[in-house]
Amino acid sequence: GQNIDQPTEMTATEGAIVQINCTYQTSGFNGLFWYQQHAGEAPTFLSYNVLDGLEEKGRFSSFLSRSKGYSYLLLKELQMKDSASYLCAAMDSNYQLIWGAGTKLIIKP
Amino acid sequence: EAGVVQSPRYKIIEKKQPVAFWCNPISGHNTLYWYLQNLGQGPELLIRYENEEAVDDSQLPKDRFSAERLKGVDSTLKIQPAELGDSAVYLCASSSGGVTDEQFFGPGTRLTVL
């Protein structure tokens, strides 16, 4: 079956760096997405990776290894507003998005 | 640019009652999605439209759920009759082009079935 695994919850300190991991198993692969979702709000797009490697976008970076079925989201210089859930979603060969349950990130001062 | 608009934001109904949700996507976005999301879970696709055509409705419980996207713009999702297990947030999203494009989500409708 198709599956996304990511940690349920993580805690980090303001100003620090945190890495949120995601492993996926899909029938075929057409890319991996990361979305941010604040409590009670809609998801917002962070990144899309389809090729191996690291893509940097400001304080956020996303990495993909297709051979390992693995991705991570790296958040630098953490701010209190980064407290949110981070959703990993992989696209299968039918272009269907398989969503993870999300990682709740708690930032402490 | 206006975002995806959904209404109502909240809806409370008794089981076996019908309910409908409305979505207006971002202007020019051909692809429209309906998802449901339970607390602590990721979104689950119900249906995807390309213009007015439903190209993926494999996850839509067709015995009680229906959707339409007349003229390829606004869309309506209906549940009839609602069950207790339908309580969730119903999200609408749109994208401008292919399925690998970024999806823009609306604020969602929180449905409570009593």
pLDDT value of position A74: 98
Per residue in A12-44, is it b (16+ CB within 10 Å) or e — as a string? beeeeebebebbbebeebbbbbbbbbeeeebbe
pLDDT value of position B97: 75
pLDDT value of position B103: 93
A75 at the B interface (CB within 8 A)? Answer: no
Phi-psi category of residue A3: left, alpha or beta, with phi > 0 → left and psi -120 to 50 → alpha: beta
pLDDT value of position A63: 98
> In order along chain B (114 residues), what is the average pLDDT of each group of 10 residues?
91 97 95 95 94 91 94 94 97 88 94 98
Element (H, E) at B80: none
**Confidence grade of residue A62 (pLDDT, cut at 50, 70, 90):** very high
**Confidence grade of residue A60 (pLDDT, cut at 50, 70, 90):** very high
Alpha-carbon gap, residue B81 to A37, rounded angstroms: 30
Out of A75-79, A85-89, A90-94, B73-77, pick the least confident.
Answer: A90-94
pLDDT value of position B1: 65
Nearest to B40 among A95, A97, A101 (CB): A101
Chain A nearest C-alpha distance from B34 (Å)? 13
Comparing C-alpha atoms, which of B2, B3, B4 is closest to residue B34? B4
Contacts with B100 from chain A: Cβ below 8 Å: 30-31, 48, 50, 91, 95
